[in-house]
Structure 1
Amino acid sequence: MQKLAAWSVHAFTATGLLAAFMGLIAVSEGDYRLAMLWILVALVIDGVDGTFARLARVGEVLPRVSGKTIDYVIDFFSYAILPAYLFYEAMELAYWPRLTCCFAMLLSAALYYGKEDMVSPSGRHFVGFPVLWNMVVYVLVFVLPWISGWAIVAVVFAFAVMHFLPVLFAYPSRGGRWWVLTLLATVAFIAAAVMNVWYYPEPSPLWRGVCLVATAYYAVLAAVDTYSGDGAQVP
């Protein structure tokens, strides 16, 4: 029974890849709104499967099956490849700047996944901007579609560089400073994402504001945590 539960958790994790593949189909058909909704489904699956894995003690029950490796395969597709493809198809940029931005996303993400210190010693932070190109592309396409081409390129390259800077970004499901507030900001961000995608191509001022406030909160939290150091965090 324990093995069945553990395999069920791995299968649930793998459904994130199915959601991302549906997003790929939606992008290829020019339905960017549906594509983003599938990306959000994959994000939610990735956000809760770790809790299920701990409850089912998958590491103990199935020691020869690496849930982390399964996660990495799915995450790289849904957090890097699919968002880059959505960016390439949806952004109104000249060919070479658009392709260069996609290359920056993919190369930085691939190198970041190779870092052994991708997560801080306490496990409560990502060291460097985590591979969240799905959310960066979401904001550029669905929340701030009117910003200039040069601003878009600058944003993409700034986040690509931040993969390798010693900045601490909160891992929302692992506790840490202002944890309850962080969870609320995460829920607000996802809810705003759903609503902004729903109202696409004309973002709702209300939900656009919720998205930007939540994003600003994450930025402030990263600055405070980086300044204080990982050891200063409280569970």
Structure 2
Amino acid sequence: MFDPEKTGRRKALAVHFLTASGAVFAMLALLAAVERHWDEMFLWLVVAFVVDGIDGPLARRYDVKHKAARFDGVLLDLIIDYLTYVFIPAYALYGSGLMDGWSGWLAIILITFASALYFADTRMKTRDNSFHGFPGCWNMAVLVLFAVAPPWWVCLGVVTVLAVAMFLPVKFVHPVRTKRWKGLTLPVAVLWTALAGWAAWHGFEVSGLAVSLLVLASLYLVSAGAVQQVLDRREGVLRRAG
């Protein structure tokens, strides 16, 4: 006999299993990184990124917080995100030679230390479900650096700015949960994911157009929240003046 309650619990538990699969993809990415197969590593990270993008909406839809309360979905997500968003990309930045020597050491220290603090920050989310500060998406930043392959000092500058931005009162949009401009942000995030997968699949030997689109999509995702803040402040000033 069909039992809606049991079915609901099974669906909620399946969402936890989906989230946990990110740990498997993280291990596969790490194994590829150890062998210096950077394109394969990023392909697994892109797969993990896709899983991370869909498990949240599914968790809310199937109410995993109450129907599968044995497992803490938020904690599970943070553990996997630290591996796939922070730890493995930081290793790739150093191990690939894109940043080595003292600059590479400094970069991996900045990334791992700042991200550990950020992931434990109770003020990580804003009222509109955006992020308070750069959300530690080093997988995205490092992938773009691989695609562009700039000089080491440019890489160091990007890493330093983003590490500092994690603790600044600057908003960064969540492509799924931030409602404002979602009609644009979500397609841009999907485009970024497709371009990232394409670049990794081809060993980062892609056309200048693909790289340019990847950079432009990244710049939008990084700056959209700050632009919204500026517009909000401007609207507030106008309301007070009126």
**Other structure's SS at 2:172 match:** strand
Which amino acid counterpart does residue 191 of structure 1 have in structure 2? A
Q: Deviations over 1:196-219 (max 9, x none)?
A: 112324232121121112123224
Alignment partners' CA distance in 1, 2:216 and 2:151:
21
1:93 partnered with 2:99: yes
Q: Which amino acid in 2 is paired with 1:118?
A: M
The percentage of aligned residue pairs carrying the same residue is 33
Judge conservation of contact 1:196–1:204 (CA < 8 Å) in 2: no
Are 2:135 and 1:139 equivalent residues in the alignment? no
- TM-score, with normalisation over the residues of structure 1? 0.92
Q: Secondary structure at the match of 2:17?
A: helix
Out of 73, 82, 93, the residue aligned to residue 76 of structure 1 is 82
Matched residues in 2 for 1:220 and 1:81: separation? 24
> How many pairs align?
228
Unaligned ranges ≥5, structure 1: none
TM normalised by structure 2 equals 0.89
Alpha-carbon deviation of 1:220? 3.9
Contact (CA 8 Å) 2:29, 2:44: kept in 1 or not? yes
| Structure 1 residues 89-117: Cα deviation after superposition (integer angstroms, max 9, x where no partner) | 11333322111101110001001012111
Q: Within the alignment, does 1:176 sit opposite 2:179 as a pair?
A: yes
> C-alpha offsets along residues 12-53 of structure 1, whole Å, 9 cap, x if unaligned?
100011011100000001111000000000000000001111
Q: Which has the larger radius of gyration?
A: 2
Matched to 1:121, the amino acid is: R
User: Would you say 1:166 and 2:157 are equivalent positions?
Assistant: no
Residues 34-91 of structure 1: CA deviation (Å, up to 9, x unaligned): 0000000000000000111122111121234210011111111111111111112113
Q: Are residues 1:45 and 2:51 paired?
A: yes
Alpha-carbon offset, residue 184 of structure 1: 1.0
Q: 2:192 aligns with which of 179, 189, 193?
A: 189
| In 1, Cα distance between equivalents of 2:99 and 2:59 | 41
Contact 1:169/1:222, CA 8 A, preserved across alignment:
yes
Q: What's the CA shift for 1:229?
A: 4.4
Comparing 81-90 and 24-33, the one that deviates more = 81-90
Runs of 4+ in 1 over 3 A off after TM superposition: none
Which amino acid in the other structure matches residue 111 of structure 1?
L
Give RMSD over aligned pairs.
1.6
**Does the residue aligned with 1:173 lie in a helix, a strand or coil?**
coil
Q: 2:160 aligns with which of 142, 157, 160?
A: 157
- Of the three residues 107, 127, 134, the one matched with 2:132 is 127
Q: After superposition, where does 1:99-118 map in structure 2 within 5 Å?
A: 99-118=105-124
Where structure 2 has 5 or more consecutive residues not aligned to the other structure, the ranges are: 1-6, 236-242
